Structures are given as structure tokens and as C-alpha cells.
């Protein structure tokens, strides 16, 4: 075999090996929970669904969850699933709550739904929050009748502010991708604007990484 033929063959074998190694090394991540509170000296969290990095299925749920003046909700269900293979890896997380009242009624909704979906295949990696939303949302008593755009900020005088449909992307979009969705993220602040606590309602995270 000539040197050129040998080099071409070795190049092809190396490319195949490299691809196989990269595909086999993929990991997934998924996490979802209904609510987290760290405010006024109280720290509490509803059951968390956490996905193993090799994939699988996990749930975290409770029929009711409440912290005085912070959050009151029912039917909290968090689910995360995912799987890894040589050609494609994916992770999907959902979190939903019903009859939600945050901050003593400043923010209410019949249903809060957070969905985070991520995948990587031969075309690249991507994530999205499609399907996330509210049913009958109201802020300070005013109904919100349209879809809430990602990362919408609402001020809460005397309390701080809230980010609705908070979406935090991660990854390079080539071999890694992830997203965290927090449907209601309240940031409590003092008179100086410094953070003094937070409340999260409806959180879902998914990612695919090497």
C-alpha cells in the first residue's frame, strides 16, 4: 500500500473513531420542581425531579405546597426524562402547578407550566421552552390575556420585582445546549435595591453536554 493510500485510510479511521468517542461521551441533565422559597428567614422547596446523567425518568410531586405570604399552590407535578445514544441525546423536563398564588395574591394563575427541552444530533444541539405558559395569569389584580414574552419584568412596589417566563440558555449550540425556565421568579429587594430573597414558581431545566 502506498503512503498516500495508507494516510487516507488512517484519516478515515481516525474520523470515525473521533465521532464515535464524541457521541458516546454525551451526557444529559434534567431537573424540575414546582416551587422554591428563600425569603423572610424561610427556605423551602417542593419535591425535585432530577435526571441521572445517563438518562432515565424521574418525578417529584405533591398535592399542595405553601409558605406564608410567599407561595400557595396545588397539584405540583415535576417530571424529567432523557436518554443518551451514539446518534442522538435528548432531555425533556416539565413542571406544573395549579391554583397558584404568589406573594399573598400579587401574582395568581390557574395553571403554571414550565417546559425545557434539549437535544443534540448530527445537525447540532438546541434547546427550547415551547409549551411553557400560564392559564389565567393576573398580576396585581390585572389579568394578563396574552402570552407572556420571555424574560418579562414586572415591578412589585414594596417587594422588588418578578421575571415572568424567565429563560436562561446555555451551551454553544454545536455540541452542547441547555435551558432553564422559571415561570415566575420573584426577587425581593431592600430599599437599596439589594436582593434579600427570592421565590421561584414552575422551574424546568434540561441540557445535553459532552
Partner 1 sequence: MVHEHKRFIVPGLVLVGLLAACNRDAVSPSRGLGAPSFTTCDDKPGGPGCGGGGQANFRLTGGGRIDKPGANQLGAEDPTGKNTPDSRDFATFGFQARPSGSGSTSPSGHITWVEHNPDGFEGGFTFHGRVSTFEAVTDHRGEDAVCGRFSGVGSGRTRNGTPFDNVFFIVDHACDKAEPGVGNDHIRMMIPDFDYDRAGLLTGGNIQWHKLTGKGA
Binders in 99-158 for partner 1, by CB under 8 A: 110-111, 113, 115, 117, 119, 121-123, 126, 128-137, 144-147
Query: Which residues have C-beta within 8 Å of that of residue 189, sequence separation ≥ 6?
Result: 159, 160, 161, 195, 196
| Residue 133 beta carbon to partner 1: minimum distance, rounded to whole angstroms | 6
Residue number, 81 or 203, with CB nearest to partner 1: 81
| Residue 66 beta carbon to partner 1: minimum distance, rounded to whole angstroms | 18
| Residue 104 beta carbon to partner 1: minimum distance, rounded to whole angstroms | 23
Distances in whole angstroms, Cα of residue 115 to Cα of each of 15, 70, 75, 96: 36, 23, 16, 9
Under rule CB under 8 A, residue 12 binds partner 1: yes
| Residue 41 beta carbon to partner 1: minimum distance, rounded to whole angstroms | 32
Q: How many CB atoms lie within 10 A of CB 60?
A: 20
Choice from 96, 139, 171, 180 touching partner 1 (CB under 8 A) = 96
Alpha carbon distance 165, 190 (integer Å): 23
Write out the residues near partner 1 by the rule CB under 8 A: 4-5, 8-9, 11-12, 15-16, 19-20, 55-57, 59, 61, 63, 75, 77, 79-85, 87-88, 90, 92-94, 96, 98, 110-111, 113, 115, 117, 119, 121-123, 126, 128-137, 144-147
Amino acid at each position: 500500500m502506498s503512503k498516500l493510500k495508507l494516510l487516507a485510510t488512517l484519516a478515515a479511521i481516525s474520523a470515525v473513531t473521533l465521532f464515535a468517542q464524541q457521541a458516546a461521551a454525551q451526557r444529559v441533565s434534567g431537573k424540575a420542581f414546582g416551587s422554591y422559597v428563600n425569603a423572610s428567614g424561610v427556605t423551602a422547596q417542593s419535591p425535585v425531579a432530577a435526571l441521572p446523567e445517563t438518562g432515565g425518568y424521574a418525578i417529584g410531586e405533591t398535592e399542595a405546597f405553601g409558605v406564608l405570604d410567599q407561595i400557595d399552590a396545588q397539584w405540583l407535578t415535576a417530571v424529567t426524562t432523557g436518554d443518551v445514544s451514539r446518534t442522538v441525546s435528548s432531555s425533556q423536563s416539565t413542571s406544573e402547578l395549579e391554583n397558584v398564588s404568589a406573594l399573598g395574591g400579587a401574582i395568581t394563575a390557574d395553571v403554571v407550566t414550565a417546559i425545557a427541552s434539549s437535544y443534540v444530533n448530527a445537525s447540532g444541539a438546541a434547546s427550547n421552552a415551547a409549551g411553557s405558559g400560564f392559564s389565567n395569569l393576573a398580576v396585581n389584580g390585572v389579568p394578563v390575556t396574552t402570552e407572556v414574552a420571555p424574560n418579562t419584568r414586572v415591578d412589585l412596589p414594596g417587594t422588588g420585582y418578578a421575571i415572568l417566563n424567565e429563560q436562561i440558555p446555555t451551551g454553544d449550540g454545536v455540541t452542547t445546549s441547555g435551558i432553564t425556565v422559571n415561570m415566575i421568579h420573584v426577587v425581593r429587594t431592600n430599599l437599596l435595591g439589594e436582593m434579600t430573597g427570592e421565590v421561584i414558581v414552575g422551574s424546568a431545566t434540561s441540557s445535553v453536554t459532552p
